[in-house]
Amino acid sequence: MRITVLGSGTSTGVPVIGCSCEVCRSENPKNKRTRSSIYIVEDETHILVDTTPDLRFQALRERITRIDAVIYTHTHADHLHGIDELRIFNFLKMGPIPIYSYREHLEEIKRRFSYIFDGKSAPGGGKPWLIPEEVKENEPFKIGRLVFIPLTLYHGNMRVLGFRLKDFAYLTDCNRIPDESMEKLRGVRVLIIDALRYSPHPTHFSLSEAIEIINVISPEKAYLTHMSHDFDHEKLKNELPDNVEPSYDGMVIEL
């Protein structure tokens, strides 16, 4: 299984428009963070997690030519508003793309992007062709031969869809992980987790909160994502425990 970090940045991306801080001015490519997303490839199955406003750029950069399904963690703009870019993957696949999420997120996607689902023009006629597939909290779901275990996370009051896939887990946009989800994370070897900045935030884990969770789960390796311009990649890397690293755009994890 191959996991590519398409984006590792918070909702603004890094650099932040108009900001002249050291990280935003840095020439280190690892300090350039597009909005958070990953791409998973296993055998013949190609899965995108979230469609960020940077999706077109991310897909070109990583030479992605196939998406068999999309998993939506939630519907904040930084995870959803690249949805129209899926159109080209319908052309490439010559068929519809299923989109998986919790019911409230699918409802919100249909409301916000009603033109995609209004049935007024034939599929393929200038808009994405997407098939909503509801994920239920305690029911693993299958895409191709891959079995995903849904993990409910809380992002303030919002229920976010995290997941476990074999020994890997993806936990973005959260500041609380309920006990039932922690239970399902037992034995995970590699995980990617939200760590927004040094100071606390009402809906995201801060760095120290993320490290506390990592210590409980105790994976072989944990990577941080959804990072703001608070973090300089090299400086942060030196501050972290041995099994924790900041992720970066284009990073590949082979499992």
Q: Is 76 a binder of Zn ion (CB under 5 A)?
A: yes
Shortest spacing between CB 245 and Zn ion, in angstroms? 20
The closest alpha carbon to 247, from 27, 13, 33, 17, belongs to 33
| Burial 197-215, CB ≥16 within 10 A → b, else e | beeeeebbbbbebbbebbe
Single-letter code of the amino acid located at 233: H
CA 132: distance to chain centroid? 18
Q: Is 19 a binder of Zn ion (CB under 5 A)?
A: yes
Alpha helices, H only, 140-232: 179-184, 207-217
Q: Is 33 a binder of Zn ion (CB under 5 A)?
A: no
Shortest spacing between CB 157 and Zn ion, in angstroms? 12
By the 8 A CB rule, do 195 and 163 touch? Answer: no
Shortest spacing between CB 119 and Zn ion, in angstroms? 29
What character string, x for contact with Zn ion (CB under 5 A) and - otherwise, covers 78-117? x---------------------------------------
Residues 220-239 that bind Zn ion (CB under 5 A): 229
What character string, x for contact with Zn ion (CB under 5 A) and - otherwise, covers 140-179? ---------------------------------x------
Shortest spacing between CB 130 and Zn ion, in angstroms? 20
- Of the pair 61, 76, the CB lying nearest Zn ion is at 76
By the 8 A CB rule, do 34 and 10 touch? Answer: no
Cβ neighbours around 220 below 10 Å, total? 10
Q: Which residues bind Zn ion (CB under 5 A)?
A: 16, 19, 21, 24, 76, 78, 173, 229
